[in-house]
Structure 1
Amino acid sequence: MITISLAQGAILISFITLFVRWVGGRLWNILAFILHQYRWTAQARDGLYYQQQVLLRNSESASHTLWTALKLAWRWRTETNGVLGRCLLLALPAAVNVAGFAAAGLLASKLLDTNDEVLVRSGTCGWLADGELAADRIYADDEKNKQLDSLWVAGLWTMKKSVEYTSACYEGQSTGYSSLCSTYVQPQMLSSVNTSYTCPFDQQTCSGPAVHIDSGLIDSSAHLGINSPPEQRVSLRKVATCCPFDMDKYQNGWERYQFPSDPNASEMLRNSSWKYYRLSDSSAPYDQVSAPRDVLFWSGTSGYELSSVPQFDGNQNLVATSPLKAELKAPHADHLVLLLGNLAKYTEAVTDPWFRASSQNDSRGYDSLYESAGAWYPDSVLTGLDCTEQYQFCANGRCTDLSGLYTQDPAPLNLGANQRAVYDVVWKSAWAANWFFITYFLRGDFLLAARLLHPTSISAPVAPDQWIQEIENLHNISMAVLQRRVVEYSRPPDVYIRPGVGTRRFIVPPATAEEQKLCDNIKVREPNYRSFSLASLVFILLCGLAIAAIELSLPPLVFRIRHWKGSTEKSQAWVGAHVFQLHKAVLESRGVGPWQPTEHEIPVLLHEPVMMGQGITGSDGPVNVGDDKSRVPSPVRAY
């Protein structure tokens, strides 16, 4: 592949189109030579035959031959027999050549111009350092604080950009920003959605049918842009399943704040009431999900509060939470409980199980929440969706089992070194696209329901299947993050943190030569550049030059072979029918000469004549002042 600007690409395409047309002319000359030699006969023929032979010998192009053959047919239509058929024998091959190479010129440009995919070049490559840093603390070491800043700022930037991309480019949510969708090699990675899936958890857990989303196989090159041959590619499949469940059965009503001895707690906080949702078997207060009775303790006082409880299969220590209750888990999967704190007040009743608001009297028992006459209030303080995420990698005709990301074992795939580098980049990108990280960085900012909120906490009613729309949107955001993270490996964003400090400062370069090679092999779409197939370009040029070489060498080679065989009539006919030989015959008839004896198609005078009067077209012929004794008669050529 070669990548050039749009202007340079236009020049290259124009050149190739003209070159192919020029090659078509060379091929026609070869065909005209073959037709001329095939048609030649020593027997006497009519004038149409000789004119056709002259036309074949002196054809300027296939289009010229086509047009002249038609004019010959018209002129000779009443003078001899079979005029139309004889002329069509010349016109049809010429027409095929004209049409064929006109199409070939367009096809050649299409063959060359693959698309607007280009390879990323940035000078910086790798992943942000993600060591043992706690997001909820400030370190004494300022360098650690800067590193923590970079993780948070870059992560939030990536998530927000992915939400923006999802809103603009995924089906059903396009806002018309088509240029934004010209970023990745695959603008959308749409998945199959089953809204009547069997509950994957304990049958008593799900409040209704589950939603099952399957991405299908995502190719590392065709979908994610990792430029590699087929034998080095890896495919990823992601499957997610969610269902609503009753959160209220895991709480015992409003309880006193469980950390009254906390020295950092205010008097108001120590005297407050909370609901504690015991989603794990642990009785420790920190292992319980909590919601305050006084909405002033919410991080936001209007709209939606979204949080999550994750559990990663094979890596329980990634997030400090106790294992979920067995009834909330499914085997061989990563888990995420999505918790919605709903502070909205709806203008109509809402039947969606995650957003349900079925009463105009707020029965939740909140403090500091102003009621609005005629509003519909959510039924519960917290509502939950129980979700699983599973992954599968495929390569070399083999696939791993569906499981959590940390339990994926690439050993059965028999990956080579280059293929393992591709696998690692895809795995790390899928890790960043986990639903937990999306909810952790964005909270409820990505919820589609938030678009219906008024400037206050009042909202238009959401759809009866709003939770399904939210899950589909979350999955699409995950796909957009997956695409973005692959590109960010090769071109990490340098997001501003503080003066002199950007996020690229903390990029850890690739550890292996194979991973380093991928830095220059990530494809994106760039409307201002075009990629062309170098192999196709070389092929077109070599084929064209080969045809031109055949055109130049074919007549001399054929003539030499005939000379060895002692048969030169057809060769003489080819030379004698040249326009300059015909011109020489006219000049000789008017006394112009003598001419040098030669077998060449271009004759040359032996002496320079003085042209008098009106030349060969007038009544007065030229006067030769050369020595008459030096005149050498030239052989007469048969046509």
Structure 2
Amino acid sequence: MDAEVHTGIWINHSLGPVAGTTITLPLLNGYLLVSALSLFFIAVGSRFWKILSFVSHQLNATQKATDVQHHQHQAILRNAETSVIAAKEFFVLPFARRRGFQGSSDFRRSALRSWGWTFLALVNLCVWPLLALFSSYITYSAEDDVLIRPGACGIVSDNSSASVFPKAFLNRTVIADVHARNCYRDNASSTSCHIFVRTPLPRSIEYYLGDVESLWYPSQEFYRTDANLALIWLFPNHVLSLDPIDDPFFGFHATNSSKELTFYEADNLVNVMACSDQGQLCNVHSQGFQCTSLTSVTVLEDEYFKLGLNPTQEATVRLITNLTHEIDDSIGGRGISALLASEMVMGLVQDFLPKTQWMAEVRHWFSMGLVNLQYELAKYAIGPPSPLPKGVLLQDPQTPQELNLCRSMKLPNPGQYQSFSILGLSTIFGVGALIIITSLIIEPLAHHAFTKFSIRNDFRRRQWSLDGKLQLQRMAYEHVGIGLDHIKLPTISTQKKNDKHVL
């Protein structure tokens, strides 16, 4: 089932208008976006270090007398542009000062003081790449689905006696049979199951076995006006069983012995199972949980107006009732291949079957109907091949709501696309942009606040300026007698024309 996929922004209403806003990109563009996100995280991490180092420097600024190591820490916090440089300088600092220590205890104390800052820098260095790795949990859409780009949208029906349509119908039944066998059984885990948005469709089954001791006679009640009735006829023909089978539909009890083996023949030449199909529609959002009566699908088309549905919901109901397949649709034209029991037949010998085999068969037929419904809904939006085969009629959407359904069908990602959550991307880029902007304005804002509103903390601003590498350079040159011009900005130093750098 080939479908063209919409690329761009769309809303997955299963997740809501906010969390469901999704952007779908071709696989290559998706990889580029993921790579850009990784680079963005690295850039944000470097700017976050600027915030972290500034805050740490300001919190550790003091007017009290301190030792040399404290000033060295402050100088590293002030001038290390990245956490990698800071981690390296904090780590080697105790070794550079080791000659001035009185003993190993002094070295240990110095190392503990410096390596604490090393650990902080390393944490900042490692956290952001890890966040980049786990960003997929935020940016990737919670449902890996894609929106179908509508083709020749509409319901396909037969308009002639040509053999094209029966062949296509039988082909869909075979597809539904294979999918139901692989995906609707208990503990199904086939990789081929992920071709519809929901597999399997939720369903529940209740069995009414009736009065098992009674005989069945045709009566007026056999004719159901509230259900579609199907009679399934089973002809065992010459199939034998090695074991007795107690299933009421596949009964084998009559013995047929030979010299070496004992076979069991079918209980009846013909077995008949009657199945009634009924449906029900409910409006779960209405007060009192309104539902139609349990009736045939044909009658449902005349009852849904009682549920108070909006025009889009009514269009959805009409589409589902038009495309619903019943049990006889799952069996017609299939012959013995419609039976799960046929998987246990070799030649003319039937392997053992449980006494509930008929239940498994009915479950399978019903599951095939659900698969067919999913298949038909997807084909409604995709449309038939062009040009239309002879004898095939395409019923175009008649209302704006039906046309909108063509534009609202989604399928699981076939693998050539990547879907991202706009909410996740916006959160990452928004928080990242906030960190980058904060790193650019935190210094002037804090220093302006110290100057205007907290004079007693203005020493923090002065220490930040004095610990700058250009100021440290200026003070080092002045200490050895190299004259410098008066500077207006404390972070920028100038040199007179005739000064020489001799240290």
- Using a 3 Å threshold, how does the CA distance of structure 1 residues 374 and 42 change in structure 2: closer, same or farther? closer
Among 26, 29, 33, which residue is 1:5 paired with? 26
Among 212, 220, 230, which residue is 1:336 paired with? 230
- The AA in structure 2 aligned to 1:428 is N
1:42 is the counterpart of 2:42: no
Between the aligned partners of 1:489 and 1:38, the Cα distance in structure 2 is 66
- Using a 3 Å threshold, how does the CA distance of structure 1 residues 584 and 452 change in structure 2: closer, same or farther? same
Cα pair 1:181 1:187 within 8 Å, conserved: yes
What SS does the corresponding residue of 2:277 show, helix, strand or coil? strand
- Using a 3 Å threshold, how does the CA distance of structure 1 residues 102 and 163 change in structure 2: closer, same or farther? same
Among 541, 563, 567, which residue is 2:451 paired with? 563
Between the aligned partners of 2:500 and 2:169, the Cα distance in structure 1 is 90
- Using a 3 Å threshold, how does the CA distance of structure 1 residues 518 and 602 change in structure 2: closer, same or farther? farther
Between the aligned partners of 2:83 and 2:92, the Cα distance in structure 1 is 14
What SS does the corresponding residue of 2:135 show, helix, strand or coil? helix
Cα pair 1:154 1:503 within 8 Å, conserved: no
1:520 is the counterpart of 2:407: yes
Structure 1 unaligned spans of 5+: 131-143, 209-244, 251-278, 282-324, 363-372, 612-620, 623-639
Report the alpha carbon displacement of residue 361 of structure 1 after superposing the two structures with TM. 5.8
Between the aligned partners of 1:383 and 1:112, the Cα distance in structure 2 is 57
Where do residues 29-428 of structure 1 align in structure 2 (5 Å cutoff)?
29-62=50-83, 64-66=85-87, 68-72=89-93, 78-79=105-106, 83=110, 86-87=113-114, 90=117, 93-94=120-121, 97-98=124-125, 100-114=127-141, 115-129=143-157, 144-145=159-160, 149=163, 151-172=165-186, 178=191, 180-189=192-201, 191-193=203-205, 197-199=207-209, 203-204=210-211, 207=212, 279=218, 325-327=220-222, 332-348=226-242, 349-360=244-255, 375-394=263-282, 395-397=284-286, 398-401=289-292, 403-404=294-295, 405-408=297-300, 409-428=303-322
Between the aligned partners of 2:498 and 2:265, the Cα distance in structure 1 is 111
Report the alpha carbon displacement of residue 552 of structure 1 after superposing the two structures with TM. 0.5
Between the aligned partners of 1:423 and 1:83, the Cα distance in structure 2 is 76
**Number of paired residues?**
462
- Using a 3 Å threshold, how does the CA distance of structure 1 residues 161 and 335 change in structure 2: closer, same or farther? same
Percent identical pairs in the alignment equals 22
Report the alpha carbon displacement of residue 533 of structure 1 after superposing the two structures with TM. 1.0
- Deviation string 1:188-229 (CA, Å, 9 cap, x unpaired) is 3364455xx443xxx45xx47xxxxxxxxxxxxxxxxxxxxx
- Using a 3 Å threshold, how does the CA distance of structure 1 residues 504 and 6 change in structure 2: closer, same or farther? farther
Between the aligned partners of 2:498 and 2:331, the Cα distance in structure 1 is 95
- Using a 3 Å threshold, how does the CA distance of structure 1 residues 12 and 401 change in structure 2: closer, same or farther? same
Between the aligned partners of 1:416 and 1:327, the Cα distance in structure 2 is 37
User: Match of 2:332?
Assistant: 440
Cα pair 1:57 1:578 within 8 Å, conserved: yes
Where do residues 502-517 of structure 1 align in structure 2 (5 Å cutoff)?
502=389, 506-517=393-404
What SS does the corresponding residue of 1:445 show, helix, strand or coil? helix
Between the aligned partners of 1:172 and 1:190, the Cα distance in structure 2 is 13
1:476 is the counterpart of 2:367: yes
Report the alpha carbon displacement of residue 78 of structure 1 after superposing the two structures with TM. 3.8
What SS does the corresponding residue of 1:377 show, helix, strand or coil? strand
- The AA in structure 1 aligned to 2:280 is Q
- The AA in structure 1 aligned to 2:201 is M
The TM-score normalised by the length of structure 1 is 0.64
Between the aligned partners of 2:376 and 2:160, the Cα distance in structure 1 is 23
Between the aligned partners of 1:453 and 1:14, the Cα distance in structure 2 is 55
What SS does the corresponding residue of 2:332 show, helix, strand or coil? helix
Where do residues 516-555 of structure 1 align in structure 2 (5 Å cutoff)?
516-525=403-412, 526-555=414-443
The TM-score normalised by the length of structure 2 is 0.79
Report the alpha carbon displacement of residue 326 of structure 1 after superposing the two structures with TM. 0.3
Higher RCO by CA contacts (8 Å cutoff, separation 6 or greater):
2
1:582 is the counterpart of 2:467: no
Report the alpha carbon displacement of residue 410 of structure 1 after superposing the two structures with TM. 2.9
- The AA in structure 2 aligned to 1:120 is I
Report the alpha carbon displacement of residue 53 of structure 1 after superposing the two structures with TM. 1.0
- Using a 3 Å threshold, how does the CA distance of structure 1 residues 46 and 184 change in structure 2: closer, same or farther? same
User: Match of 2:12?
Assistant: none
Q: Which structure has the larger Rg?
A: 1
Between the aligned partners of 1:107 and 1:412, the Cα distance in structure 2 is 49
- Using a 3 Å threshold, how does the CA distance of structure 1 residues 556 and 450 change in structure 2: closer, same or farther? same
Structure 2 unaligned spans of 5+: 1-21, 99-103
What SS does the corresponding residue of 1:335 show, helix, strand or coil? strand
Between the aligned partners of 1:391 and 1:484, the Cα distance in structure 2 is 19
Between the aligned partners of 1:10 and 1:384, the Cα distance in structure 2 is 58
Provide the alpha-carbon RMSD of the alignment.
3.6
Which deviates more from structure 2 when the two are superposed, residues 531-540 or residues 151-160?
Answer: 151-160
User: Match of 2:487?
Assistant: 597
